[in-house]
Amino acid sequence: MAKIGLIGGTGVYDPNLLSGISEENVTTEYGAVKVKLGEYEGTTVAFLARHGEDHAVPPHKINYRANILAMKKLGVERIIATGAVGSLNLEMQPGEFILVDQFLDFTKNRIQTFFDDSERGVVHVDMTEPYCIELRKIIANAAATLKLPVKTSGTYVCTEGPRFETPAEIKMYSSLGGDLVGMTSVPEVVLAREAEICYATIGMVTNYAAGISPTPLTHAEVVEAMNRNNENLKKLVMRTIEIIPQERKCECQNAIAELGSLGQGKLLS
Ligand code: HPA
């Protein structure tokens, strides 16, 4: 069992911050998921590379439901996710960490719920605070102790990908209130919420978005920027794990309480 889950995005493919690593193949009704389990400072952590260890899975093909259900089955209560993001907001600069607090969903073709048949019932999960307030505060405190540049809110525009955006799209997203753009936070955050798992994303700004950046974007540029900041990202995750309290006091654990005690049981059965 692991109470903390780590979902590594672009540039974060191995859990070498953990010790005593073992690999577990977790089976779910959506498919099997390879998760690495390891220890850090006496805490068991479950690690999952969102795009696979060789970055072979594009954002629109990630098995989001299997990944989150695998975490749930391992007993995970809190997920710290990392994600490379482009910036639409000149105040959010490459190299900065942003603790995303809202999203705008522009995905097109992704199943966003575990509750899509009559057996489990219908759930309309509340999205007022999609990203756990408590976990975001803990990460912000961890960043402060490390003196890392961090902003504690930002609106994440999730696109379908895998292509990058046009400058016209970026202009539109910006006029709608978007600060950052990426391809993976939805439905990951939504499913975590349905599973009553606290979820926070550490967005790492790798580039200015299309049309803001003076040059065309490449995936290599994103990976290079991630690599430059990888050590800081690891430090931030490790410090967060060090200071995370055992018990959570937030409301994420009651996100689908309207379904009664059966809700989570149905997810795990
Ligand atoms: N667009 C979409 N996803 C991204 C970007 C971007 O500019 N940078 C990193 N991930």
The 10s digit of each residue's pLDDT in 218-234 is 888 888 888 888 999 99
The structural domain count of the chain equals: 1
Task: Confirm whether 208 is domain-assigned.
Answer: yes
For residue 122, what pLDDT is reported?
84
pLDDT of res. 268: 78
Please check whether residue 12 lies inside any domain of the structure. Answer: no
Least reliable range by pLDDT among 11-15, 40-44, 89-93: 11-15
206 lines ligand 1 (CB under 6 A): yes
Q: Which of 183, 186, 208, 219 to mutate to test the pocket of ligand 1 (most atoms within 8 A of CB)?
A: 183
Task: Tell whether 165 is covered by a domain.
Answer: yes
Residue with the nearest Cα to atom 9 of ligand 1?
Answer: 85
Whole-angstrom distance, CA of residue 43 vs CA of residue 55: 27
Sign of CA dihedral 33, 105, 256, 115: negative
- pLDDT for the residue numbered 261: 55
Torsional sign, CA 64, 179, 105, 77: positive
CA distance 266 to 29: 12
86 CA from centroid of ligand 1 (Å): 4
Residue 262: domain span = 82-268
Average pLDDT of the segment spanning 247-265: 81
Q: Which atom of ligand 1 has the smallest separation from the CA of 209?
A: 7
Closest residue by CA, ligand 1 atom 3: 182
Within a domain: residue 145?
A: yes
pLDDT at 18: 86
* Per-residue pLDDT reduced to its tens digit, 68-103: 999 999 999 999 999 999 999 999 999 999 999 999
* Structure confidence at residue 213 as a pLDDT band (50, 70, 90): confident
Does the beta carbon of 184 sit less than 6 angstroms from any atom of ligand 1? no
List of residues 6+ apart from 6 with CB closer than 8 A: 15, 45, 46, 47, 48, 79, 80, 81, 82, 237
Peptide bond into 130 cis (omega under 30): no
pLDDT at residue number 221: 86
Mean pLDDT of the chain, nearest integer: 92
Q: Is 59 in the pocket of ligand 1 (CB under 6 A)?
A: no
Residue nearest to atom 2 of ligand 1 (CA): 182
Task: Characterize the bridge pairing of strands 97-99 and 198-208.
Answer: antiparallel
Where is average pLDDT lowest: 20-29, 116-125, 172-181, 260-269?
260-269
| Domain CATH number, residue 200 | 3.40.50.1580
Whether 214 shows a pLDDT value over 70: the answer reads yes
**154 in contact with ligand 1, CB cutoff 6 A:** no
Q: How far is the CA of 242 from the centre of ligand 1 (A)?
A: 30
In a domain, 16, yes or no: no
87 within a domain of the structure (yes/no): yes
Q: Which atom of ligand 1 is nearest to the CA of 183?
A: 3
DSSP per-residue string spanning 25-86: EEEETTEEEEEEEEEETTEEEEEEETTTTTT-S-GGG--HHHHHHHHHHTT--EEEEEEEEE
Residue with CA at minimum distance from ligand 1 atom 6: 86
Specify whether the CB–CB gap between 88 and 176 falls below 8 A: no
Q: Is the CB of 86 under 6 A from ligand 1?
A: yes
- Cα–Cα distance, 129 to 121 (Å, whole number): 23
Domain assignment present for residue 245? The answer is yes
Please determine, for residue 184, whether its predicted confidence score (pLDDT) is greater than 80.
Answer: yes
Q: Is 125 exposed, middle or buried, given 0-12, 13-18 or 19+ CB atoms closer than 10 A?
A: buried
Q: d(Cα 199, Cα 225) in Å, to the nearest integer?
A: 24
Helix and strand element counts for the chain (H, E): 6, 11
Indicate the DSSP class of residue 157.
E
Q: Residue 175 — pLDDT band, cuts 50, 70, 90?
A: very high
For residue 262, the model assigns a pLDDT of 54
Please indicate, yes or no, if residue 118 is contained in any of the structural domains. Answer: yes
Q: H helices of the chain, where?
A: 64-73, 133-146, 167-175, 185-194, 219-243, 262-268
Q: Tokens at residue 258, please? A: 């309207």
